Every structure is written in C-alpha cells, then in structure tokens.
Structure 1
Amino acid sequence: MIDATQQAGQATQAAQKIALVTGAGSGIGRACARKLLANGYAVVLVGRRAEPLEALAAEAHAAGQTALAAPCDVTDVAAVEALFEAVHARFGRLDLLFNNAGRNAKAVDIDELSVEDWRAVVDTNLTGVFLCTRAAFALMKRQSPRGGRIINNGSISAHAPRPFSIAYTATKHAITGLTKSVSLDGRRYDIACGQIDIGNAATEMAGRMAHGVPQANGEIAVEPLMDVELVADAVLHMAQLPLAANVQFMTIMATKMPFVGRG
C-alpha cells in the first residue's frame, strides 16, 4: 500500500527530478546545486555545516525552487542511512547523487603526515563516497521507475599527483575504481555512474593557486583558474543525459594549468 508520503513524493517526481549534492555548502557543490535548482531539480543540500546549507535553501525557496537543507557528516554510517531514509520519505525517489564532499591534508612529506590526518581524508573522500553511493544504489534499484545516476567528483589528482598530496591523491585514484565498479554493477538496475575530474575551478579551496603552489620540479608557480560555473554546466550536462547514455569520465580544467606533462 502506498501511504500519503509516498504519494506526495510521486507527485513531486512527476514535476521534477530529485538530486542530492554532498559538500553543497560551498565551492563546486554550491555552484552545482544552484545549477540543478535553476534547471528544475529538487535538490537535497548536504554538508557538515547547517548555516550555509540553510542559506542556500532559503535562496532557492525565494526563487520558487525546491531545496532541502540536510546537515550530515558523510563519514557517519548512521547519519548517512538516516539521510537517505529522509529523502525517500520526503520525495519517494532519488534521480541523481553528486558525490562532491571532499577534503585535503597538510602539504607535507609522507613521514610527517599523521595517521589521523590520513584517516580523515580517506574517511571523507573515499568511505563517505562509498556510504552515500551504497545508500543511493539501494534506493535507485528499488524505486519505480527504477534507476538513477551517480556522479563522482574525482580530480586531476585521479590521474597525476601534486607534490605533498599522498592522502588526497590516493583517495582520488580509488574513486576511479569505485566509479568503474558502480558503473558495472549498476547496469542491471539502470543505474549510470560517471566521474568528473576537475582542475583549478575558482573556489575557496583552490584560491591558493592564484598565490603560487609547489610544482613537480620544486618551483612555486601561480596557476590559472577557471570559472566554477563551467564545472556546474558540465555536471548538469552529465545529469541530464537519458539513462541509456553515460559520460563515464570527463576532465574539465583551466586550459593553461600544468596538468598535461605534469610530473
């Protein structure tokens, strides 16, 4: 039997698709959430800090858009399970998960990186993605109509490391393996999974690029940045494809950043 909550969710689905964006309170996540909202998606805004999520939700509501601020630590198993249960109760389904939440560690030699800092990066960048993907996969394979799309935020570092970034680089290489496995295992359930690898989008996290960062040859060099809106446009393109098509991997980067030939 379908209860009133499920009926409400199905009615919402008839009008718009449902997306969930992690790390939505700032940077790439915020830009992509805004882009999805502007293009008719209802968006669940996920992050650790409630204030920026609530501000973005209020901005969306003022524009007549559907947004739900959902503070959640993606490394917390119980919190992630509760999050996706709430999404199902509110909307009845999930069409898109953008795994965007991530963090870095101190730029130091491996022997100076604490185990605690290593685990913090792995917990967020890899285990958090696993937990959210696991919950989304379970929902997408059982909902009607079946299926959905999962987009993982990889990084240029999924291909080539920056100096002093062993934890971040290791997790982003691992995300590529996770993306391929979910893409394969999701076929039978009409779940598409792809990855976007981003280089030097102009966000708070990448602001240091404009002041100079270490290069593979030991120099400190300023690197060019690109408008984060271009990343949002790329994610929207991936999101809007029919499930019969998939962007398996996309690289979008500032044209003149030192990536090709790096290392």
Structure 2
Amino acid sequence: MADRFAVVTGAGQGIGRAAAQALLAEGWHVAVLGRRMAPLEETIAGHDRGVAFTADVGDRPQVEAAFARVKERFGRLDVLFNNAGRGAPAVDFDELSPEDWEGVVAANLNGTFFCAQAAYRIMRNQSPQGGRIINNGSISAHAPRPGAAAYTATKHAVTGLTKQIALDGRKHDITASQIDIGNAATPMTERMTKGVLQPDGSTMVEPRIDVAHVGRAVAHMASLPLEANIPFMTIMATKMPFLGRG
C-alpha cells in the first residue's frame, strides 16, 4: 500500500480524535491540528506516523503556517478532514450575542474555508495531482435545533462550500464530501444525557452513539479512490429525534 497522508483538524478530542485514530489504524500518516498541543499529542500517542501542529482554524495566518509545515513534513496531502468547530449557548434568536455569532462563524465557516483552501492549493500543485476534502457538516445542516442560529447557519453554509469545492476541484482531481453526524458521544454532546430542549418546548434525553463509529465512517470515505465519492453521508444515533424532528 502506498503511503497516504491526511490532516485532521480539531483532533484533540471527540470526533477529530476518533477520525485521526481510525486513519492511523489503517496505515495513514496523519497530521493533527488543534489549539492546544497536549491533547493533540494524546491523540497520536503510540503512533509513529502521527504528527501534531497547533493552529486556531479561525486565524488564517496560523492555518497557512500549519499547512506549510504539513507540506514540508509529508511532501503531499491526500485527505483533509475539516472537523474543527464550536457551538454557542442555546438562546432565543434575539438574545444571541454578536461575540457568540462571530466566534461560531470564525470556527465553523471561516475555519472550514481557510483549511480547505490551504489543502486545495497543496492538492492542486502536487504530483500526482488531486485529493479529498471531507467537511464535518451536522444534522443541523438539514434541520435546526431551538436556539441554535449561529451553529445552524454555519452548518448550512458548509453544505454549499462542500458542493462548490467538489465542482471547482473536478479539473484538478480534487473532490469534496460532507459527513453529517447526529449525537456522537463526545464532550460537545454530553448535555444530551441530561435532556435538551425540543421544538415542541419539551425537554428529553437523546440517545448517542460511540464516536468510534464516526471515526470509521470518515476513514471509509477517505479510503475511496478519487474516481469515487460519497458526497454526503449521515451517521446518527438510530433513535435520535431527527427524521421526525419538529
């Protein structure tokens, strides 16, 4: 098997960590990116094909510096898993603060764009040309939760960005995919175990799935040859209130 090289953002915990470890287990060389070095090093502990670089994805110069280091270390890039992101407190629409709006946009939309563009440039200019960009969408890219305007808006925007990358990248053998995840068991969804607000005003505990399932799904998407693509994949807790949400 030829060497394969990937970048995973937001890899210090949760979905990013699970995806990075799934790729490492399948023989990939993986660069993990995040804001803090210590959890990144925990993600790649025991894997000699892993390397960690710190970067805030919402800061363009930091992103460009990190991807320059990836290029220097690996020589090429085959897959980017654009995973880093954040949410905001659940509040009524008119109570969302400008600071929370801008913070979510910076991480979820600007960060996804900055990382995708940096990866695209490497993939376009390497030989052989091409690569795959996998964006972390969300169930919220399809149906909102109450009080989640910033998160919902950015995840809908990620869908448009994914389609645009896939279209523009065709001539360079670059493709794009989106994985929409519902209730993976991570620190971000811990609140689900205590009960979360539903559209009808009730509060209910929602089921979650082992985040390792998500990691393996990302690794499967990454493993496809470039002539094949899964444009959109949804992986979710079977009994979560999504298909009947509202």
> TM-score when scaled to structure 2?
0.98
The residue type equivalent to 1:133 in the other structure is A
Rounded to whole Å, the distance in 2 between the matches of 1:208 and 1:59 is 31
Q: CA deviation at 1:77?
A: 1.0
The residue type equivalent to 1:24 in the other structure is A
2:82 maps to: 99
Find the structure with the greater CA-based Rg.
1
1:220 maps to: 203
2:14 maps to: 27
Secondary structure at the aligned position of 2:188 is classed as coil
1:28-43 map, 5 Å: 28-43=15-30
Q: CA deviation at 1:159?
A: 0.2
Encode CA deviations 1:196-223: one digit per residue, 9 max, x unaligned: 0000011111111111000010000001
Encode CA deviations 1:53-77: one digit per residue, 9 max, x unaligned: 122233323xxxx111101001111
How many residues align? The count is 246
1:54-133 map, 5 Å: 54-61=41-48, 66-133=49-116
The one of 230, 237, 250 equivalent to 2:213 is 230
Rounded to whole Å, the distance in 2 between the matches of 1:208 and 1:102 is 17
Encode CA deviations 1:168-216: one digit per residue, 9 max, x unaligned: 0000000000000000000000001000000001111111111100001
Secondary structure at the aligned position of 2:151 is classed as helix
Gaps of 5+ in 1: 1-13
Rounded to whole Å, the distance in 1 between the matches of 2:174 and 2:2 is 21
The residue type equivalent to 2:22 in the other structure is K
1:211 correspondence with 2:199: no
The one of 149, 153, 158 equivalent to 2:136 is 153
1:254 maps to: 237
The residue type equivalent to 2:41 in the other structure is E
Q: CA deviation at 1:47?
A: 0.5
Rounded to whole Å, the distance in 1 between the matches of 2:2 and 2:170 is 26
1:16 correspondence with 2:3: yes
Q: CA deviation at 1:15?
A: 4.2
Secondary structure at the aligned position of 2:46 is classed as helix
1:200 maps to: 183
Secondary structure at the aligned position of 1:59 is classed as coil
The one of 18, 22, 31 equivalent to 1:44 is 31
Q: CA deviation at 1:227?
A: 1.1
1:167 maps to: 150
CA RMSD of aligned residues (A): 0.9
Gaps of 5+ in 2: none
